[in-house]
Amino acid sequence: MMPSILIIIILFIAFAGSDLLAYFSQIRLNYESGQIRKLFLRPPSVFEEKRRLMEPVLLNHIDFYRHLSPVAKVKFLYRCAAFMQRKRFIGKEELEITEEMKMLISAAAVQLTFGLREFQLEHFDTIIVYPGVYTSPLTGANHLGETSIKGVIVLSWQHFLEGYKSSTDKINLGLHEMAHALDLSRMVKASDPFFHAYFVKWHAVAGETFNEVNQEEEHFLRKYSGTNDREFFAVSVEHFFEDPQEFKKNLPHLYRHLSILLRQDPVALGLSQHTLLSWVSNQPTWNKRDVHMLKHFQSDFPFWYATKWMMLPLGFFILISAMNSGEDLQFATLLLTSRFFIGVIQFFFRSRIVEVIDNFVVVRSAVFPFMTKSFAMENIISIRYDLHRKGSVHLVYLQEGEVHSAVYSIGLSREDYESFKNAMSNKDVSMSY
């Protein structure tokens, strides 16, 4: 009895696990939204007391908080208080940790993750604060801050405060180190699911700008961003929040995808809509008569791959019918007929062609025109080709701001994949196999 129940549970998790995870994640998000709505409309005395203590500090130091709408300020305070409770703050070199320090450091983390569902940076439970420049026990060099994958964030309090004194110098130690923490959270699989998935797209988009930083004498992003991928992300975050207007003007494509990655747009801060982004549609608008002019790639239709599980049972049936009769033939007829109908179902899924048409990837049936799915290039995060699974293609993409995936058993040859990959060059899509 127990093994049967266990098998049922395993099968249920295998087929419905991801949907259940998304469902519970949505419940948690709805719970937070409900809590914030209640706090905004009918704030209890406990919350009012916290706001009385926290708000003057945030208004005095955090420009981001000052520009939030009234409801968004409640969300910020709610998250800031939750973050403070979950972290251990340690002062070094006789520095006494105050409530104000905890508030401001927590505010830096909340500012960065304000558009994400997961804002706690769960992997990082300890924040160490030095009065100023310190000698790192790990490297032996002088540091202003550092973030360890072991779950520790280290900050110079002097330079943390300096980062928030000017909101336009594009240097902010707090945001820089929190960006490292968010990035490393992804490495230990403890980050926001959307951030984790979309970072692949960000990395593909950022590559060209990263090269420009290292090749050009002067660039909008400061030179330190060219050190490595992690510093590029952290410095981009500083520019993103400290000088969003110029960032958007100088690097609009990079800015757009960083807005998507963090699910907020600082240029729209103060308009009450800075976390409500516009999403590109996956439905193409080009005219059908123009398709041949726009087509950059079309895979072949592998007829034998799509039809073999219909043709093989039919061929065996004809062969056995010619050689045998009686009960053996009846059994073979039943077996091969069932396999033939399974083959018919498989044909529906395998009679596919992949096309690159303008800024869309289209997967359509070679036989049934109504079986067509299109993906806007900007929404495609990654495409993985799997030769071992009969040339299947695994797409990860955005649909109305949520990450989805689709697997098509196409029978794509390795040569077709290489042509497909060439057609996708400079499209900011991660291609792999």
pLDDT at res. 27: 56
Domain boundaries for CATH 2.30.29 within the chain: 288-432
d(CA 254, CA 182): 18
Ramachandran bin of 263, using left for φ above 0, alpha for ψ from -120 to 50, beta for the remaining angles: left
pLDDT reading at 122 higher than 70? yes
34-38, 231-235, 346-350: the lowest-pLDDT one: 346-350
pLDDT reading at 128 higher than 70? yes
pLDDT at res. 30: 65
pLDDT at res. 33: 84
pLDDT bracket for residue 159 (50, 70, 90): very high
359 φ/ψ angles, rounded to the nearest 5 degrees: -105, 35
pLDDT at res. 395: 95
d(CA 401, CA 26): 14
Percent of all residues in the chain with a pLDDT value above 90, rounded to a whole number: 60
d(CA 79, CA 150): 23
**89: its two tokens:** 């703050």
pLDDT at res. 109: 98
pLDDT at res. 96: 97
d(CA 53, CA 80): 12
- Please tell me which residue, 369 or 176, carries the higher pLDDT value: 176
pLDDT bracket for residue 291 (50, 70, 90): low
Domain boundaries for CATH 1.10.472.150 within the chain: 32-268
CATH class of 32-268: mainly alpha
Residue 222 amino acid letter = R
**161: its two tokens:** 């405060």
Rounded to an integer, the average pLDDT of 376-398 is 90
Question: Mean pLDDT highest for which of 100-104, 296-300, 314-318?
Answer: 100-104
Q: What is the Cα 410 distance to its own chain's centre?
A: 26
Q: pLDDT digits over 297-310, tens only? A: 998 887 767 666 66
d(CA 265, CA 249): 13
162-166, 220-224, 283-287: the lowest-pLDDT one: 283-287
User: DSSP label at 140?
Assistant: S
Q: pLDDT digits over 53-77, tens only? A: 999 999 999 999 999 999 999 999 9
pLDDT reading at 325 higher than 70? no
Taking alpha carbons only, the member of 355, 343, 354 closest to residue 306 is 343
d(CA 271, CA 276): 10
Is there a contact between 246 and 220 (Cβ–Cβ < 8 Å)?
A: yes
Residue 36 CB-half CA count within 13 A: 20
pLDDT at res. 73: 95
pLDDT bracket for residue 5 (50, 70, 90): low
Percent of all residues in the chain with a pLDDT value above 70, rounded to a whole number: 85
d(CA 339, CA 320): 15
From the number of C-beta atoms within 10 Å of its C-beta (0-12, 13-18, 19+), residue 293 rates as exposed
pLDDT bracket for residue 4 (50, 70, 90): low
CATH 2.30.29 fits 288-432, yes or no: yes
Round the average pLDDT of the chain to a whole number and report it. Answer: 86
pLDDT reading at 21 higher than 50? no
pLDDT bracket for residue 290 (50, 70, 90): low
236-245, 272-281, 417-426: the lowest-pLDDT one: 272-281
Rounded to an integer, the average pLDDT of 216-232 is 93
pLDDT bracket for residue 433 (50, 70, 90): confident
pLDDT at res. 24: 47
d(CA 235, CA 175): 9
d(CA 375, CA 398): 9
pLDDT at res. 20: 41
d(CA 284, CA 90): 54
Pairing of strands 126-130, 88-91: parallel
141 to 69, 132, 137, 226, 388: CA distances (angstroms): 42, 14, 8, 20, 49
- SS3 assignment, position 226: helix
- Please tell me which residue, 285 or 372, carries the higher pLDDT value: 372
- Please tell me which residue, 275 or 24, carries the higher pLDDT value: 275
